[in-house]
Amino acid sequence: MAQSKQSFMRGTLALSVAAFINRILGFISGMFVARVMGAEGIGILMMAHPLVPLVITITELGLPVAISKLVAEASARGERMRIRRILHVSLAVTGVLSVTLTTISLLGSHWIASLLLSDQRAYYAMLAITPIAPIVAVSAVLKGYFRGMQQMKTIAASDVLEHTVQIAIVLALVHLLMPYGVAYAAAGAMAASVVSEAISLLFLAVSYKAYGERKAPGETWGSHLKQGRSTLSELLKIGLPTTGHGAIQSVYGAFQPLLIATSLAMAGVSTALATKQFGLLAGYAFPLLFMPSFITQSLSTALVPAIGEAAANKNGLLMHERMNQALRLGLLIGAPATVILFVWATPLTTLIYGSPDAGLLLKILAPMFFLHYFDAPLHAILLGLGRASATLWNYVVATAFKAVSIFVFGSQFGIVGVAFAIGIGIVIQTLLNFFSISGSIGIYLSIQPYVKVGVCMSVMALGGRTAFDYLTVRGLPPLWSVIVSIAAALLLYFAALMLTATLRWRGSRPPISSKFG
């Protein structure tokens, strides 16, 4: 058991390092593409993308999670034949579904474009990204297999390879196609994603073959599929409940650009300007906001089994220790990230994207987005407690509220109102997940560390802003003014954490008086 946990921690670390590298690579790629294509081009990219997650969600049927669980169980029992059967059945299901849906999407592309795209220049980009669905679906099956075999380094390597190749091809195609127009450049950027995903799939397939899975005499695809009815039933029993959340998320993601464009049109914004403003929000502000969250996402992956094990053993103390550790990490990571994104909003978007206009949207979203760093751990805790339905309904309520808010505020206040509405949706979803956990097992919180971190955030913000203003007045170039002032602010933040003894806050269960729920 000790060896298994050690292997799990090494795998988690590998995924975290890969996620960090991918965030950096993706951020660099996004920065260059944004500078070449501009806000209007990024808006076209963002409009063309949402259909694909919906197709992928339907084709995957939540199978990657189910595959990893069933493969891990079969591997522990030494059932190699069963492992291959799980893989063959999953590949058959996802292969047929993905090819069918992709074919329908391509044949109905004009109708889909007229329904979903408020700017028809995004049609070619939508067409270019559509073939990615079967590739991603097969990759997801293989990644589920490697997770079940606890070969996380293979997944990490494939992800880094994919992002590295994607950057090279994106930069090449965008520069090559930009003279023909922004619509063709956007299509080239989407085509680069397809190629890089295909190379990642090739790496996974080669790794699978090299890993040593060998067929038994007389073993064929047909034999696995004929005897695979019970295996398919087991896969769907685990996978389907997770599909609902992803499907609703994908459907909303597909219609959100149209919803935003409609609300902006009601506010008197032209189609071209609305596309540009959507690009500022989705292509400039969101990547900066999501940048620090890879740590909490990696934590959430490990948190689900940790909470599930503690719940199965009825170890309430361990459950609350794990919860407090997760929320503490979200707090310590989210606090400085929020201060940086709020205080240096306009300088960051100006330096990175050459777009000071995006700074206002980033400044609006940053304070509300602070709760996002808690939402991923809270979501994982609910899954660990076996309350997947609660996460689904919380998401439905929050998304419905966000959609109405976007329509109301966007039509009244333009893109600023849209930004407020999206932030409100994040706040509502986080609070609903919090209260769901509180209603199930209670949440024991010591308020003191949160107050201390709030004080540290204030010190960081005031010191950092003062340093930035001073360096700017002294004539230091904008890049160095931002870098030096942020570094000074972070030093102040960590010094304040040390002085207030916040870093020594332990994840143990605090007194009953701090309980919520």
Nearest to 396 by CA among 348, 428, 444: 428
Q: Are 414 and 364 in contact (CB under 8 A)?
A: no
Name residue 516's beta-bridge partners: 443
Distance of CA 372 to the CA centre of its chain: 11
Rounded to the nearest 5°, which phi and psi values hold at 516?
-115, 130
Q: Is 228 helix (H, G, I), strand (E, B) or coil?
A: coil
Q: Residue 390 has what pLDDT? A: 84
Taking the C-alpha atoms of residue 19 and residue 266, their distance in angstroms, rounded to an integer, is: 40
Q: Residue 97 has what pLDDT? A: 85
Taking the C-alpha atoms of residue 297 and residue 301, their distance in angstroms, rounded to an integer, is: 7
Burial class (CB in 10 A: 0-12, 13-18, 19+), 258: middle
Q: Residue 73 has what pLDDT? A: 65
C-alpha distances (whole Å) from 454 to each of 239, 478, 500 are 40, 28, 11
In single-letter form, the type of residue at position 179 comes to P
Q: Residue 509 has what pLDDT? A: 45
Q: Which two tokens stand for residue 37?
A: 């294509």
Helices 229-266, 271-279: axis angle to 10 degrees equals 120
Q: Is 16 helix (H, G, I), strand (E, B) or coil?
A: helix
Q: Are 369 and 289 in contact (CB under 8 A)?
A: yes
Taking the C-alpha atoms of residue 283 and residue 39, their distance in angstroms, rounded to an integer, is: 8
Q: Residue 438 has what pLDDT? A: 86
CA angle 16, 19, 23 (to 5 degrees): 140
Helices 372-384, 294-312: axis angle to 10 degrees equals 30
Q: Which two tokens stand for residue 2?
A: 């000790």
Q: Are 297 and 329 in contact (CB under 8 A)?
A: no
Taking the C-alpha atoms of residue 398 and residue 411, their distance in angstroms, rounded to an integer, is: 20
What is the sign, positive or negative, of the torsion defined by CA atoms of 393, 57, 147, 168? negative
Nearest to 370 by CA among 279, 443, 296, 459: 296
Q: Residue 224 has what pLDDT? A: 56
pLDDT tens for each residue of 89-98: 888 888 888 8
Name residue 443's beta-bridge partners: 516
Sites in the chain below the pLDDT cut of 70: 1-13, 49-51, 54, 65, 69, 72-73, 76, 116-119, 148, 150, 212-228, 237-239, 241, 301-313, 384, 386, 503-517
Name residue 444's beta-bridge partners: 515
Burial class (CB in 10 A: 0-12, 13-18, 19+), 432: buried
Q: Tell me which DSSP letter residue 119 carries.
A: S
Q: Residue 214 has what pLDDT? A: 64
Q: Residue 35 has what pLDDT? A: 76
Taking the C-alpha atoms of residue 149 and residue 403, their distance in angstroms, rounded to an integer, is: 41
Output b/e per residue, 41-60; b: 16+ Cβ within 10 A.
bbbbbbbbbbbbbbbbbbbb
Burial class (CB in 10 A: 0-12, 13-18, 19+), 6: exposed
Q: Residue 512 has what pLDDT? A: 37
